[in-house]
Amino acid sequence: MKITLPKACISCTNYEPKGKKEDPHTPFRESILYSQTMRVQYGQCNKHCKEVFCTEICNGYKQDELIDVVEVTNRPEPMVPHQENLI
């Protein structure tokens, strides 16, 4: 049985979780589980070698085969700016 996650860093094989950080663009603002601190999961993108919020989306996304994904809207800006690889 697969789990379902957003099609973003959190379900990418290049993502390695590290902890939680303040996020002014959290998509969980209206969730019952949302805390007053606006802290969300972040980690390391091993493709871009940058820290990222789990809700970021990039062209280097590679879906984990054990996860079903749902399309989501990308955040307005990344945690750390990075250059996409041009194809």
| 8 A C-beta contact, residue 67 and residue 6 | no
Q: Is the pLDDT of residue 82 over 60?
A: yes
Tokens of 20: 């939680």
Task: Indicate the DSSP class of residue 81.
Answer: -
Confidence of residue 13 (pLDDT cuts 50, 70, 90): very high
Strand, coil or helix: what is 4? strand
pLDDT at 87: 47
User: pLDDT > 70: what percent of the chain?
Assistant: 82
The per-residue pLDDT for 84 is 62
- For 25-44, write each residue's pLDDT tens digit: 776 666 545 555 578 899 99
| pLDDT recorded at residue 36 | 58
Q: How far is CA 29 from CA 2, 12, 16, 20, 58, in A?
A: 26, 23, 24, 15, 22
Q: Give Cβ neighbours of residue 30 (< 8 Å, ≥ 6 apart).
A: none
Percent pLDDT > 90 in the chain is 48
